[in-house]
Every structure is written in C-alpha cells, then in structure tokens.
Homo-oligomer: A and B are copies of this chain.
C-alpha cells in the first residue's frame, strides 16, 4: 500500500491551480509554479496533475484540443472561450436544465453535461464597439 506524501512541489502546484481565476494550461501551471520552485520539472507537473485529478481535487477541461486544468468542488459551472483573445472564463450560470437522470429524446439517460460558449469576452467586445464608433 503506497502512501501519498506531501511535498513542496505538490503544494505549490495545487496552490497555483486553486488560486487561478480560470482553467490553466500545463505550461501556465509550470511557469507559475516555477516562480516559487525554479527547478520544478515538467514531468513532475504532469505527474502531480494526474495525482490531483485522481484525488478529484482538480479536473481537466479539454478546449479546442488544449488540455486545461481547474480546481474541483467549485460547483456546477461552464466555460466561455473568447474567439478574439483566446482566454477561457468560468461561467457561474448554466444555460441548460438537465438534472442527472433526465431522459433525453431518443432514450438517452443523461448523467452529466458540458457546455462551452464561444464569442467575445466583455473586454474584447467593448474594444470592438469602440473601434466601430471611433
């Protein structure tokens, strides 16, 4: 029976993801964690990401082929991907009403759902509006 040890790198990686506003790419996790641990290796990041995922403390979000990670336990939410600046935001309102157990037309028993919205984030939308009027 292997015991999971607490290490400086695991603490730092977990903190980086926990304190992030939205989901982070692996490279972003590495860069931010290296602010505290300059010698941190990429393999350790991947191993820790996998470990934290198995512990359900974080989970992956795959968006346009990019794998991002975010902290779990923040309640039901979805993502908004800005088609202009590329940033990913977390949305706290849900546009669908599909509780687990709902039977969808065709006989599909829904256990979970995922929604991603694409468009312009508030900042990019206001810049586009200014460009039009200016």
Known: A62-B65, A83-B111, A113-B117. A122 touches B106 (CB 8 A): yes
Q: Is the interface of A mostly helix, strand, loop or mixed?
A: strand
Q: Are A119 and B115 in contact (CB under 8 A)?
A: no
Give Cα A121 to B122, complex, Å.
Answer: 38
Chain B CB within 8 A of A118 CB: yes
Residues of A within 8 A of B (CB): 60, 62, 64-65, 67, 80, 83, 89, 91, 93, 95-98, 104-122, 125-126
11 further interface pairs, Cβ-Cβ under 8 Å (given A96-B115, A111-B119): A65-B67, A80-B108, A83-B111, A95-B113, A104-B117, A107-B125, A108-B121, A108-B125, A110-B117, A113-B116, A113-B117
Q: List 25 A-B contacts (CB under 8 A).
A: A65-B67, A80-B108, A89-B106, A89-B108, A91-B104, A91-B105, A95-B97, A95-B98, A104-B117, A104-B119, A107-B125, A108-B117, A108-B120, A109-B119, A109-B120, A109-B125, A110-B117, A110-B119, A111-B120, A112-B117, A112-B118, A113-B115, A114-B116, A114-B117, A115-B115
